[in-house]
Amino acid sequence: MAKGAASVSDFRALAKARLPHFLFEYIDGGSYDEVTLDRNVEDLRAIALKQRVMRDVSELDLSTLLFGHTWDLPVGLGPVGMSGMYARRGEVQAARAATAAGVPFSLSTLSVCSIREVARELARPFWLQLYMVKDRAFLEDLLQIGRDSGCSALLLTVDLPVSGSRYRDVRSGLAVPASGGASFRRFCQSALRPGWAWDVGLNGRPHGLGNLEPVLGKNSGLEDYFGWIAKNFDPSITWADLAWVRQRWEGPIIIKGILDPEDAHAAVSHGADGIVVSNHGGRQLDGALSSAKALPRIADAVAGRIPILVDGGVRSGLDVVRMLALGADFVLMGRAWAYALAADGERGVAHMLKLVEAEIRAAMALTGCRSIREIDRAILAE
The rounded mean pLDDT for the chain is: 94
Mean local confidence (pLDDT), 362-379: 98
pLDDT at residue number 173: 86
Query: Of the residues 69, 265, 270, 280, which is catalytic?
Result: 280
Four-CA torsion 8, 278, 25, 185, nearest 10 degrees: 150
pLDDT at residue number 222: 66
Bin 33: left if φ > 0, else alpha if -120 < ψ < 50, else beta: alpha
Per the CB < 8 A criterion, the answer to whether 327 and 300 are in contact is yes
Please report the sign of the dihedral spanned by the C-alpha atoms of residue 112, residue 177, residue 32, residue 26.
Answer: positive
Q: Give the separation between CA 310 and CA 66, rounded to whole angstroms.
A: 13
Question: What's the whole-model pTM score?
Answer: 0.96
Number of domains forming the structure of the chain: 1
pLDDT-derived band at 1, boundaries 50, 70, 90: low
Helix axes 21-28, 335-367, angle to 10 degrees: 40
pLDDT at residue number 163: 87
Phi, psi of 75 (to 5 degrees): -135, 140
pLDDT at residue number 197: 94
The model's pLDDT over 185-230, given as tens digits with 9 standing for 90+, comes to 898 999 999 999 999 999 998 888 889 888 877 766 666 677 777 7
The model's pLDDT over 125-176, given as tens digits with 9 standing for 90+, comes to 999 999 988 989 999 999 999 999 999 999 999 999 988 899 999 899 887 6
Bin 288: left if φ > 0, else alpha if -120 < ψ < 50, else beta: beta
Tell me, what DSSP letter sits at residue 199? I
280 part of the active site: yes
Tell me the percentage of the chain whose pLDDT exceeds 90: 83
The model's pLDDT over 18-65, given as tens digits with 9 standing for 90+, comes to 999 999 999 999 999 999 999 999 999 999 999 999 999 999 999 999
Residue 300 belongs to domain with CATH number: 3.20.20.70
| Structural domain for 366, as ranges | 2-379
- Cβ-Cβ contacts under 8 Å for 180 (sequence gap 6 or more): none
pLDDT at residue number 133: 87
Q: How far apart are the first and last CA of the chain?
A: 40
pLDDT at residue number 252: 98
| Of the candidates 264, 245, 270, the residue with the CA atom closest to the CA atom of residue 154 | 245
Residue 179, pLDDT > 60, answer: no
